[in-house]
Amino acid sequence: MPYNLLMLKNVEIYSKSNCTFCDKAKNYFNQNDIPFTAHNAEIPEIFEVLMSRNPHARTMPQIFINDELIGGYTDLIEWLKI
C-alpha cells in the first residue's frame, strides 16, 4: 500500500522507551508526514489496553492502522509492500 494512502488512516503505535524498532516505526511515519498516535506501553493502564487489543503481543512496537493489527516494525514494512 503506498504510504500516501496511510494519511487517510488512523495510525496508532504502542511503544516503550529504548526501543530501536519503535523509533524506526515512528521515524518512518514522521518522514512520510503520516500522523500517528503514540501510546506509552510502560504505563500500566495503556499496557492493559494493548493486551486487550492484542493478547499475544510480546514485542514492541505494536502498530494498529484503522484498528487492524499490523504487528511490529518488520510487519509494517511487509504490509506496506502489499
- pLDDT at residue 28, rounded to an integer: 94
Domain boundaries, the chain: 3-80
pLDDT digits (tens, 9 = 90+) for 6-60: 566 899 999 999 999 999 999 999 999 999 999 999 999 999 999 999 999 999 9
Tell which CATH classification among 3.40.30.10, 3.60.15.10, 3.30.980.10, 1.10.3720.10 matches the domain 3-80.
Answer: 3.40.30.10
Q: Dig out the grid coordinates for 55 from the structure.
A: 493478547
Q: Where are the beta strands (DSSP E) in the chain?
A: 11-15, 37-40, 62-65, 68-71
- pLDDT at residue 9, rounded to an integer: 84
Tell whether pTM > 0.85. yes
